[in-house]
Amino acid sequence: MYVKDLKWTPGISVKDLVNDFSSLGYQSTELAKAAEVFVKMKKNSAKIFLTFTSNMVTSGLRGFFAQLIKLRMADIIVTTVGGIEEDIMKASGEKFLVGKFSDDDVELHEKGINRIGNLLVKNESYMNFEDLINPVLKKLYEKQKMWTISEMLKEIGLTLNDENSILYQAARNDVPIFCPAITDGAFGFHLYLFQQKHSDFIVDVVKDFGNILFSTTHDDAKGVIALGGSISKHHAILCTLLNGGANYAVYMTTAHKTSGSMSGATTDEAKSWGKVNDESDVATVIGDVTIMFPLAMMKALEDLKVEGLI
Amino acid sequence: MYVKDLKWTPGISVKDLVNDFSSLGYQSTELAKAAEVFVKMKKNSAKIFLTFTSNMVTSGLRGFFAQLIKLRMADIIVTTVGGIEEDIMKASGEKFLVGKFSDDDVELHEKGINRIGNLLVKNESYMNFEDLINPVLKKLYEKQKMWTISEMLKEIGLTLNDENSILYQAARNDVPIFCPAITDGAFGFHLYLFQQKHSDFIVDVVKDFGNILFSTTHDDAKGVIALGGSISKHHAILCTLLNGGANYAVYMTTAHKTSGSMSGATTDEAKSWGKVNDESDVATVIGDVTIMFPLAMMKALEDLKVEGLI
Amino acid sequence: MYVKDLKWTPGISVKDLVNDFSSLGYQSTELAKAAEVFVKMKKNSAKIFLTFTSNMVTSGLRGFFAQLIKLRMADIIVTTVGGIEEDIMKASGEKFLVGKFSDDDVELHEKGINRIGNLLVKNESYMNFEDLINPVLKKLYEKQKMWTISEMLKEIGLTLNDENSILYQAARNDVPIFCPAITDGAFGFHLYLFQQKHSDFIVDVVKDFGNILFSTTHDDAKGVIALGGSISKHHAILCTLLNGGANYAVYMTTAHKTSGSMSGATTDEAKSWGKVNDESDVATVIGDVTIMFPLAMMKALEDLKVEGLI
Amino acid sequence: MYVKDLKWTPGISVKDLVNDFSSLGYQSTELAKAAEVFVKMKKNSAKIFLTFTSNMVTSGLRGFFAQLIKLRMADIIVTTVGGIEEDIMKASGEKFLVGKFSDDDVELHEKGINRIGNLLVKNESYMNFEDLINPVLKKLYEKQKMWTISEMLKEIGLTLNDENSILYQAARNDVPIFCPAITDGAFGFHLYLFQQKHSDFIVDVVKDFGNILFSTTHDDAKGVIALGGSISKHHAILCTLLNGGANYAVYMTTAHKTSGSMSGATTDEAKSWGKVNDESDVATVIGDVTIMFPLAMMKALEDLKVEGLI
């Protein structure tokens, strides 16, 4: 394909701009390719693993993730516990603020505000979370003593009343949410306090590994959309590998492969799984997910809509 | 401002998406801010310095830069010599190819192809450039023996016949192009060979420094749009500083400030120039320019169009 | 402090070079500062949380971590499960290879080799791990049905016979190892298979949260050394925060703060915890941990040795 | 080669640590390889092009560069004009300060201080530069009206009296310094002012391109050590390419190849030049040059000293 000169036309749509990206060069071309891989995944009825880190749920991507679950663009979710907490907080009316990367942390601390990049969360929101989660744990415990995370998150999702909530949409669309490190957050602390009072209350992470393992099969076509790195990305790759490897993979990250980290691992490796048919089934996009993901995914949604697939 | 949940609506425009970015978080918020600073620059009739590196001209951004010059969104251009060469090559019909970052360099070399990231340029294109530039130099030399770069580039621009060419549009819209390291490329080699035959042929870079210095004044409102780093970014900052500092600045780059390089320098420093009125006059966006710049600038163009300013 | 011209003197020691770094500039200065914070932590008898990601255990840093535990430079370890697995694999004689970042993944796959950056691990090593871990799980199960990770890892450590092993040294020096996502790896798969045969076998992650929570107190001076990002970094920060915040913090990472990720979070935030006395108690070093950490920590060890503190 | 567990031994030398790096993994292995390529360059009497950006001269690397010139580890220097200015400023007694990345820019501005990363330069130092450079230009002009940069820099170097100065050592060791964008700094402004008074004063950049072109030949073995990116890196690559390509190349940078920029270009391309014999003749190290370069180069110097080559 030849490089084409980009031109602005008044009223240009996201679809047309991403289309232009394919012949523009560098990461824009990779981004356009990612959109194509998204379309392929859906067309070929792949089981789609969507993974993201909690900072993306802090951002407004949260509502977009919920919409994608509703649109059946994700069959299995893997995330970190902060994302779970903040989705629940937002579903119960908490508001987060847009601040600045350069905000003074000492000053913010005095005001009882936490900073995540250029976003701000009040301590109060975390305290409200405490008031909110305890009655939920009680109800769960009354039902049974032993829980896997994914089952627990489904129950919580069913109690929420917010169309923009990831847990709400996942619960209603039978999309399991896995969180392999559930104790790594305020949620973990509350689970601990609850267990102190109810010593037979058990969170069974080993059983939940079986749940994600059997959420797909060797025979399924499988796709991984990994946004950011961390264990959420690793967990989806692990579980598709144990099922013979994914057929499609899109990784979006700001990390680079040069340090050997999972966050920076590219889709090159995916080619070694033996299920990827060719280069056009994988894409690695380097850049901030808040920009890269909406662009590529919205382009894919437009194309899938034309074909009547969403 | 509160973080807002992002939602896809079928047919969404670039304008609406970038609007949503302002309440999304992380770099998307910075990008939306960049769009606002672009609008401010134009509204307040700032002299706009647009700088970019040659790899962006290799990409399809070249046509967009030409369009921006035509739309009067840039008053002074600063770039590196590779960008000049490739603009001329494209204007004379050369085609560049979209390849892959992982293409085998030894194999490409055997085919006579050069790789710049995931873009490919044939050696042939460079040879055609040689055939093209020599008659031009002869004509220039017949006119006068001593040339500044910006005057030379204007003359060359007038000989081109391509609406998508940066030099073409710059020449026709009286936008000077400065290139402080003109010898750092094939162009330099041809200038050298020409000078060998015509020893009184002189390229006067010192005089051209005066030209860029007087391309604006202390009294002008001034804006810097620096895409990527290198001397093109530094040169624009230097020349606005010598004229009292810019009032507006947008830097877009993949580099980070942690190594102390010019490429990674942020607009924080701009606040120390004393002319920036407040935080809302500057923006630093981290990410690939092929994606970040079209998004932010097209959003600005849409807004300016509504106001009848372009 | 003035910038000083760096000079090579034949036979220069790591100690002297890092000393020179303090007046050299950019990340070298931050690195020299990190060394000073390490010394402060130890001198003030802080409880030191050392966190690292599994790719660092794949590398030769593994032996250095073991040595640091032996030297009492770490009181609490937090890591990801891959690091646990690979430490055990190495302790049982498995060898990893140094390869290249550009090795052909499809070719490696055919040879049964996995690539982690420029390091190579044979599939065979993972299979040997399986043979190794099953008898261990049987023995643990015979002792009791319910285990926390940290207790399990101590038991495993006691069975190993390798001075360079992290688990070996941790078990013998009463340094607990926490791994908040134990199922996110081959280990998780084997735990799952074991539980299939022994349904009353339970890994209690909630109880282990109590263990890390009570591994320190509000009254302790506390230090966090976070190498890389991921949940290991987050978990240590969370647990020190729940104990009133750390007094000292050094983060080393290749990630940047601009995407709002935990990996890229800097020690600026640590200043807001209220326990950090001044700027000299924290350091953020941007760069590859395999280089940055040995340099800074070896400098600290040299200084501590002079003072008789190790 | 197998991955080896790293161990601290009291009093460890830089030589031994970098030796250990070769079997440690990730960038540490690349760094050890860079040291080996430096040794190869020297052993095979390659013409060594050393390039660096001006921020490195702001740092204490300046004295190390001067020492390397004296030790004949560099045959041709390419840099940007800021580096030239600051070398001269330091040679005339100006002192730069170590500050912080987070210093308040508005506050610094009020104190008349410029910030370059975490280093600080007083405005006064720039003013003293003005007083210093004018008499020099006068003397040069009296000698002849037309100057190339490299000849001008040699003359200036001869007037300096500082063993730690790059220009001083280069002038005394017949190492030419090329600066393809001489007007992109305060120096350019002073050249301009001087030319205003002496209109026949000419800086001939085209002729200087011939000087660098003939600083080596097709027959010479050639090596490129490119620290950071920018035109200094590009210029050295261009000039070795026009002489048939380099045999050895080491690039050290914080930039990544994913944006297609020159700063992020890796040595993979060098393999396509046809002169690189094998993989062991090139190395790309990702990281801050203030740390990476002293480590790798000091290791090489130790090895070369043993062999009596320096």
Q: How far apart are CA C299 and CA C303, in angstroms?
A: 6
The residues, ordered by sequence, that sit 6+ positions from B227 with a Cβ below 8 Å of its Cβ are B50, B51, B52, B53, B56, B252, B253, B289, B293
* Token code pair at residue C138: 């049987």
Rounded to 10°, the helix A205-213/A230-241 angle is 60
Residues in C closer than 8 angstroms to D1, CB to CB, are 97-98
Q: Among D70, D79, D257, which Cα is nearest to D172's?
A: D70
Tell me which chain B residues have a C-beta less than 8 angstroms from the C-beta of D192: 206-207, 209-210, 213
Residue C210 is predicted with a pLDDT of: 97
Q: Which residue of C has its CA nearest to B30?
A: C258
Nearest CA in chain A to B17: A14
Q: Tokens standing for A196?
A: 């102190």
Annotation says B275 is catalytic: yes
Residue C46 DSSP symbol: P
pLDDT, position A271: 75
Residues of A with CB under 8 A from a CB of D: 25-27, 256, 258-260, 286
User: Given an 8 Å threshold on Cβ–Cβ distance, is C58 in contact with A260?
Assistant: yes
Nearest CA in chain A to C264: A117
Phi, psi of C25 (to 5 degrees): 115, 160
Tell me, what's the pLDDT at D221? 96
The predicted-structure confidence for C100-150, as pLDDT tens digits, reads as follows: 998 888 889 889 998 999 999 999 998 899 998 999 999 999 999 999 999
Residue A5 has pLDDT above 80, yes or no: yes
The two structure tokens encoding residue B3: 């973080």
* Contacting residues of D for A266, CB less than 8 Å apart: none
Q: How many CB atoms lie within 10 A of CB B141?
A: 17
Active-site annotation holder among C222, C275, C299, C305: C275
Contact D182, D208 (CB under 8 A): no
Q: Alpha carbon of D293 to those of C271, C291, D20, D96, D226: distances in Å?
A: 32, 12, 16, 21, 10
Q: Which of C17, C29, C304 to mutate to test the interface with D (most CBs of D within 10 A)?
A: C29
Q: How close, in Å, is residue D215 to chain B by CA atoms?
A: 15
Mean pLDDT of chain C: 94
Q: Which amino acid is at C36?
A: E
Q: Which CATH superfamily is domain C45-93+125-289 in?
A: Deoxyhypusine synthase (3.40.910.10)
Is the CB of D260 less than 8 angstroms away from the CB of B188?
no
Test mutation, B122, B152, B192, chain D, max D CBs within 10 A: B192
CA distance D150 to D205: 9
Assembly ipTM: 0.96
Confidence tier at D268 by pLDDT (50, 70, 90): confident
Mean pLDDT of D35-44: 97
Q: Which of B116, B228, B260 sits opposite D55 (nearest CB)?
A: B260
Report the alpha-carbon angle D68-D100-B33, nearest 5: 110
Q: Note the helical H segments in A111-148.
A: 123-143
Length in residues, chain D: 310
C25: nearest CB among B26, B260, B286 = B260
How many helices and strands (H and E) does chain A possess? 13, 11
Do D64 and C20 lie within an 8 Å CB cutoff?
no
Model confidence at D270: pLDDT above 80 = no
Q: Compute the distance between CA of residue C20 and CA of residue C296 in angstroms, rounded to an integer.
A: 12
Question: pLDDT confidence of D265, banded at 50, 70, 90?
Answer: confident
Q: Do B263 and D263 touch (CB under 8 A)?
A: yes
**The pLDDT of residue C233:** 94
Give the residue ranges of chain B where pLDDT is below 70.
none
Predicted pLDDT of residue B105: 86
> What digits encode the pLDDT tens for the residues A151-170?
999 999 999 999 999 999 99
To the nearest whole angstrom, how far is the Cα of A27 from the nearest Cα of chain C?
A: 17
Contact B268 D105 (CB under 8 A): yes
The pLDDT value recorded for residue B207 is 97
Express each pLDDT in A280-306 by its tens digit: 799 999 999 999 999 999 999 999 999
Of C96, C93, C204, C183, the residue nearest C140 (C-alpha): C204
Assign D277 a pLDDT band (cuts: 50, 70, 90). Answer: confident
DSSP-derived secondary structure for chain D: -B-------TT-BHHHHHHHHTTT-THHHHHHHHHHHHHHHHHTTPEEEEEE-HHHHHTTHHHHHHHHHHTT--SEEEE-HHHHHHHHHHHTT---EE--TT--HHHHHHTTEEEETTEEEEHHHHHHHHHHHHHHHHHHHHH-SEE-HHHHHHHHHHH---TT-HHHHHHHTT--EE-TTTTSSHHHHHHHHHHHH-TT-EEBHHHHHHHHHTTS-SSS-EEEEEES-HHHHHHHHHHHHTTT--SEEEEEES--GGG--TTT--TTGGGGGS---SGGGEEEEES-HHHHHHHHHHHHHHHHHHTT--
Check residue D102 and give its pLDDT. 87
Closest-CA distance of chain B to residue D97, Å: 14
Locate the chain C residue with the closest alpha carbon to D62: C5
Pick one of 3.40.50.1820, 3.40.630.30, 3.40.50.150, 3.40.910.10 as the CATH number of D45-94+125-288: 3.40.910.10
A147 neighbors C204 (Cβ within 8 angstroms): no
How far apart, in whole angstroms, are the C-alpha atoms of residue C166 and residue B132?
66
Give A46-94+123-289's CATH code, choosing from 2.40.10.480, 2.70.150.10, 3.40.910.10, 3.40.50.12780. 3.40.910.10
Residue D279: its pLDDT value, please? 78
Task: Determine whether C141 is exposed, middle or buried from the number of CB atoms within 10 Å of its CB (0-12, 13-18, 19+).
Answer: middle
CA distance C11 to chain A (A): 29
**pLDDT at residue A27 is higher than 80:** yes
Mean pLDDT across D223-250: 94
- A24 to B290: CB separation less than 8 angstroms, yes or no: yes
List chain A domain ranges.
46-94+123-289
B-D Cβ pairs (cutoff 8 Å, strict):
193
Whether B260 sits inside 8 A of C286 (CB atoms) is no
CB-based contacts of D158, cutoff 8 Å, min separation 6: D171, D172
Q: Which residue from B minimizes the CA distance to A164?
A: B5
Predicted confidence at residue D263, as pLDDT, reads 80
Query: Would you give the DSSP letter of residue A72?
Result: T
| CA separation, residue C81 to residues A6, A211, B107, C181, C198 (Å) | 47, 19, 41, 7, 22
Nearest chain C residue to B104 by CA: give it: C102
Rounded CA separation A305/C144 (Å): 56
User: How does the average pLDDT of chain B come out, rounded?
Assistant: 94
Query: How many Cβ atoms are within 10 Å of D278's Cβ, its own excluded?
Result: 7
Percentage of residues in chain A having pLDDT higher than 70: 100
CA distance D94 to D87: 10
Reported confidence tier of residue D60, pLDDT bands at 50, 70, 90: very high
Summarize pLDDT for D86-132 with one digit per residue, the tens: 999 999 999 999 999 988 888 898 899 989 999 999 999 988 999 98
Chain D positions touching B180 (Cβ under 8 A) are 181, 183-184, 188
pLDDT above 90 (res C24): yes
Which residues of D fall within a CB distance of 8 Å from B188? 180, 206, 209, 238
**Residue (of D138, D114, D150) closest to D193 by Cα position:** D138
Contact list in C for residue B260 (CB cut-off 8 A) is: 25-26
Check residues A7 and D268 and name the one with the higher pLDDT. Answer: A7
**Which pTM was predicted?**
0.96
Residues in chain B: 310
Chain D residues touching A265 at Cβ < 8 A: none
Contact C63 D7 (CB under 8 A): yes
Q: Is residue A269 predicted with pLDDT exceeding 80?
A: no
Cβ separation of A287 and B290 shorter than 8 Å? no
- Alpha-carbon gap, residue B291 to A35, rounded angstroms: 14
pLDDT at residue D251, rounded to an integer: 96
Per-residue model confidence (pLDDT) at position C267:
86
DSSP B135: H
Nearest-Cα distance to chain D for C98, in Å, is 5
Task: Provide the pLDDT confidence category of residue C70 given band limits of 50, 70 and 90.
Answer: very high
Cβ atoms of D177 and D211 within 8 Å: the answer is no
**How far does B124 lie from chain C, in Å, by closest CA?**
29
Helix (H, G, I), strand (E, B) or coil at A189: helix
Provide mean pLDDT across the span D43-55: 97
Question: Left (φ > 0), alpha (ψ -120 to 50) or beta: where does D308 sit?
Answer: left
Contacts of D25 in chain A (CB under 8 A): 260
Kindly report, residue by residue over C231-283, the tens digit of the pLDDT: 999 999 999 999 999 999 999 998 888 888 888 888 887 777 777 777 779 99
Residues of C with CB below 8 A from A53's CB? 261-262
Catalytic residue (one of D33, D47, D90, D275): D275
* CA–CA gap between residue A106 and residue A112 (Å, rounded): 10
